[in-house]
């Protein structure tokens, strides 16, 4: 609502792209957290440490990749949470094609994490 904050008026496409990105990031976070299931990680401490480590790496992966190209593998094993910030950071608008690619990357990430989690849970069976 403050006219001095943005360089242009927000449009419906901006709200749709931003909302879709937030929704998919939430879904990715939920899948990542759900991956640390008690049947997969017996010790709760290890699950909490793993979830925090993955979260911190997902948020800081762009900076790590800028420091060394050896960290580019993180693009494949972590959710693309900060990729949207990289694409919008220098612009005042969302690029719909780029946001769609990020959301598709998040959807594929969620699907793969879900499949791996289900396979691991089938292997572990029940702990009682």
Query: Cβ of 99: how many Cβ atoms within 10 Å?
Result: 22
- The mean pLDDT of 90-96, rounded to a whole number, is 70
Torsion of CA 95, 100, 101, 103, to 10 degrees: 120
Checking if the pLDDT of 30 tops 90, the result is no
Checking if the pLDDT of 128 tops 70, the result is no
Q: Is the pTM of this model over 0.85?
A: no
- The mean pLDDT of 11-27, rounded to a whole number, is 83
pLDDT for res 49: 93
Contact predicate 42/120, CB 8 Å: no
Q: Whole-angstrom Cα distance, residue 78 to residue 112?
A: 11
Which of 73, 81, 66 has its CA nearest to residue 31?
81
- The mean pLDDT of 64-79, rounded to a whole number, is 86
The mean-pLDDT minimum among 6-10, 15-19, 34-38, 72-76 falls in 6-10
């Amino acid at each position: 609502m403050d006219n001095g904050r943005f360089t242009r008026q927000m449009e419906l496409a901006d709200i749709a792209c931003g909302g879709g990105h937030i929704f998919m990031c939430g879904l990715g976070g939920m899948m990542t957290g759900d991956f640390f299931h008690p049947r997969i990680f017996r010790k709760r401490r290890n699950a909490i440490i793993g979830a925090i480590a993955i979260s911190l790496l997902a948020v800081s992966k762009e900076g790590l990749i800028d420091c060394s190209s050896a960290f580019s593998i993180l693009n494949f094993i972590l959710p693309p949470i900060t990729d949207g910030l990289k694409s919008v950071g220098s612009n005042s608008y969302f690029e719909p094609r780029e946001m769609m690619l990020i959301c598709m990357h998040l959807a594929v990430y969620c699907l793969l994490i879900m499949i791996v989690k289900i396979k691991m849970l089938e292997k572990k069976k029940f702990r009682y």
